[in-house]
Structure 1
Amino acid sequence: MNMLARPDLVLETRLSRKLMDVYIRVGLVLALTLLCYRIFAPFITMMAWALILAVTIYPGHQALARKLGGKQGLAATLLVLGGIALIVVPTAVVFGSMGDSVHGTIERVRANAFAVPAPPARVAELPVVGPKLHGFWSLAHTDMPAVIQRMQPELGELAAKALGMVASIGGTILLFMVSFIIAGIIMAFGESGAKAAQSILGRIVGSRRGEEFAVLGTSTIRAVALGVVGVAFIQAMAVGIIMILAEVPFAGVLAVIVLVLGVAQVPALLVTVPVIAYVWLSKDYETVPAVVDTALLLVAGMLDNVLKPLLLGRGVDAPMPVVLIGALGGLAGAGILGMFLGATALSLGYQILMRWVATDPDIVDIAELEGELPIVS
């Protein structure tokens, strides 16, 4: 039978061949995508942090580049060097102090040289909690050596964990430094990168909306970086440096706790107030240094109340509660990196929802469609 006499059979054969061709192409693209992902997977976290840093610092980079006659590379280099000097070095000092405190305490416990001093008599005179606090402190003072003796088998494991913590801190600081350097490279080519991001979003949601979403995503990342992580980091560094200068025990550990509390939107006064109480109850501080340390710790503990309203949600076309809820939800689901993803995703979702609410299906604006319809060549 001549196939030309069966046009339906010819059409079916052509469709089946084209469908098989599409399946093969899709399979090859999927295999290439998976291969690229496996190659790039070890660098995803580093590149994500580099992109976040680049987006956050880019306005300052552009201002510096204008002062340098438009030299993008020189401006990025100066920002990277300055950032390492102003951020990485203090961070290394605070986290190094935390590691030294933990390791030193464990070594003292292993040597049975750790002892709790006797409580001052004035502790018992404190209202409400004074007698109970004095009794608990006295019990720790008298029975601590026996408790330490019982803990000897576990001290080796604790020492190993302390050393691992110090090594992890060093690795984190190194990752941050490399991310900062990559962020400088991204900023040096920031204009072409911004156009590429807008083009990608334009292919997904339309050219005009792609530009709007790119601006919204950028402003949200900057708002979270400055209003949540930035404020928490600045506050933790301020509290940590003040406690180090005041020679407060475990200053590095307490600074890390302040950082975690700040990211979780919990007041840092939960740490600074007990430290102030320690300064006044301890016999190691004179009156004038105690007053100065108290004033500095109070100011540092309330620093977020001043900085957060100024920075969080600034320049974002979404309400501050939306940004904050997205940041906290992302933090709970995926850690600090999830804060940026959560806030950006929720802000984009909010804009899509509000655009849908404001759109009347019975009214079609031809001018609006011109920016949304794909161009067919």
Structure 2
Amino acid sequence: MATEQTAQRVFTGLIILSIILLALVVRPFAKAFFLAAVLAGTFYGLYSRLSRKLRGHNNVAAGVIVSGVILALLLPLGGLTAFVVTEVSDGVKFVSDTVQREGMEGLIDKIPGPVRGPVERLLERIPLEEAQLDETLQQQVSTQGGTAARAVTGAVAATGSIAFQTVMMLIALFFLLTEGARLVKWVESVSPLRRGQTGEILREFRSVSVAVLVSSVATAGVQAAAALVGFLIARVPAALFFAGVAFFMALIPAVGAAIVVLAAAALMFFSGHPWAALFLAIWGTVVVGLVDNIVKPLLARRGMHQHAAIVFFALLGGLAAFGTVGLLLGPLIVAFFLALLRIYERDYGRPTPRPGDPATPGETGGGESLIIRPSVLSAETRERVPLSPTTPERH
């Protein structure tokens, strides 16, 4: 018959095995679950108030919040897609009509000055005979066909993966809103930590998640506003559209809002406005590009209750280590570490000495005599230990 120690070791091994298997199961949805947990913590207060107004209909309240998240994701994406499709269709129609009426020369005459010269020199090098042109096009199509097919396949796969992760995130968000309170109570009940420690760590996670999420959205708004000011000064066409694109690009750390301003600068340069392009390039690099590194740490530190420098390096370190999701993971890891240190110091560290308590050898300074109160010594010890000069003898 197995001993108690052997049974405990086997049970520990089974727990470790179950954790590994659970990690393999959760891994495909890890990012979706993580983002859902962050959003659930952010919107839980709103969910509670909405649930009370709906007289305890928790599913309806969670459905309203999830629907709002869906609209917040789809409406800007749909508007951007519609604008791009409209502009591309108008551009194709303009090129087609111009070529039919005035030919290629008329189309070249409508190209802005900085671009017209390179285009004319490029056309001079291309054979204009129809047979040679057809042959060249066929060769290019046959050569680049495989590359284009792979690129399209990769783009479709990436889009499908993003859509799948988004759907999983929304489903997880719904259940975390409705069952979040029960889940937290269960985690606290099975946690091996002391009573209240698990809840304190979870509250710290929620506070940091909300701070980072709110600061990211607020920083994107500040960058979009700064970009809009630059667009208006440079008289960029469709300034509001470019500012909206800058807002959503600011939410993507690998892209950022500055890239939109630089793209607008390139458009202004090729349209014959070099000074406006130069202004936008400087504005996008100095103002819009640096706002993210200044505003986001200042806003995030309010929820993290940490110095702005710690928040700054936590954001950059998380981004470098984990990619886009590291913007949340980095501050969470730092907050987790600091919360553990705070809990250890409070619950397991040395007790803080109170005024009037007897001094210990580690608390005495160099050259000072140790004062021992007779009241805290036993009678036998009191006879062996001489009294301090400052302690009056008892007669």
TM-score (norm 2): 0.59
SS at match of 1:214: helix
Displacement of 1:233 = 8.9
Q: What letter is aligned with 1:34?
A: I
- Which one of the candidate residues 43, 54, 58 is aligned to 1:72? 58
Residue 196 (1) aligns with residue 196 (2): no
Task: Extract unaligned runs of 5+ from structure 1.
Answer: 1-13, 103-112, 124-133, 367-377
> Secondary structure of the equivalent of 1:315?
helix
Residues in 2 aligned to 1:255 and 1:320: alpha-carbon distance in whole angstroms = 25
Please report how far the alpha carbon of residue 30 of structure 1 lies from its aligned counterpart in structure 2 after TM superposition.
3.2
Distance 1:101 1:151, change over 3 A: farther
1:18-48 CA distance string (max 9 Å, x none): 3333333233333333333333333333322
- 1:258 and 2:245 are equivalent in the alignment: no
Q: State whether structure 2 residue 261 is matched by structure 1 residue 272.
A: yes
Look up the equivalent residue of 1:223 and give its one-letter code. A
Q: Which residue of the partner structure matches residue 36 of structure 1?
A: 22
**Correspondence for 1:210 among 190, 194, 198:** 198
With 333-342 and 357-366 compared, the bigger mean Cα shift is at: 357-366
Cα drift, residue 163 of structure 1 = 4.0
Q: Partner residue of 1:165?
A: 155
AA partner of residue 40 (structure 2): A
Q: Distance in 2 between matches of 1:98 and 1:174?
A: 24
Q: Per-residue deviation at 1:310?
A: 7.6
Match of 2:214 in 1: 226
* Deviation (angstroms), 1:168: 1.6
**Residues 179-218 of structure 1: CA distance to partner in whole angstroms, max 9, x if unpaired?**
1232022112232233334446x633x3233332221111
Q: Give the structure 2 partner of residue 177 of structure 1.
A: 167
Per the alignment, residue 106 of structure 1 pairs with none
**Aligned with 2:312 (options 287, 311, 324):** 324
Match of 2:94 in 1: none
* C-alpha displacement of 1:361: 5.8
- Amino acid corresponding to residue 249 of structure 2 in structure 1: V
Are 1:88 and 1:173, in contact at CA under 8 Å, matched by a contact in 2? no
Partner of 1:143: 122
The number of residues matched between the two structures is 310
Contact 1:88 1:177 in 2 (8 A): no
Deviation at 1:304, TM superposition (A): 6.0
For 2:207, the aligned partner's letter is S
Normalising by the residue count of structure 1, what TM-score does the alignment of the two structures yield? 0.61
SS at match of 2:158: helix
Residues 26 and 226 (structure 1 numbering): CA distance in 2 closer, same or farther, change over 3 Å? same
What aligned pairs does 1:226-375 form with structure 2 within 5 A after superposition?
Answer: 226-228=214-216, 231-232=219-220, 258-259=249-250, 263=253, 268-276=257-265, 278-279=267-268, 282=271, 308=296, 311-353=299-341, 363=351
User: Compared with structure 1, are the counterparts of its residues 195 and 98 closer, same or farther at alpha carbon in structure 2 (3 Å cutoff)?
Assistant: farther
Structure 1 residue 273 displacement after superposition: 4.5
Q: CA deviation at 1:84?
A: 0.9
C-alpha deviation, 1:333, in angstroms: 1.3
TM-superposed CA distance for 1:269, in Å, is: 3.4
**CA, structure 1 residues 279+157, in 2 after alignment: closer, same or farther (shift >3 Å)?**
same
Query: Contact 2:220–2:248 at 8 Å: present in 1 too?
Result: no
1:343, distance to aligned residue in structure 2 (A):
1.1
CA–CA distance in structure 2, aligned partners of residues 166 and 347 of structure 1: 38
Deviations 1:113-165 (A, max 9, x none): 9xx968644x5xxxxxxxxxx7xx7446533786x979652353134313421
C-alpha spacing 1:209/1:86, structure 2 compared with 1 (3 Å): same
SS of the residue 1:323 aligns to: helix
- TM-align CA RMSD: 5.1
- Identity within the alignment, %: 23
In structure 2, relative to structure 1, the CA distance for the partners of 1:306 and 1:75 (3 Å cut) is farther
SS at match of 2:196: helix
Partner SS, residue 69 of structure 1: coil
Distance (whole Å) between structure 1 residues aligned to residue 268 and residue 164 of structure 2 = 34
Which residue of the partner structure matches residue 130 of structure 1? none
Secondary structure of 2:302's aligned partner = coil
Secondary structure of the corresponding residue to residue 263 of structure 1: coil
CA–CA separation in structure 2 for the residues paired with 1:230 and 1:167? 31
Question: Which one scores higher on RCO, CA 8 angstroms, separation ≥ 6?
Answer: 1
C-alpha change, 1:365 and 1:272, in structure 2 (3 Å) is same
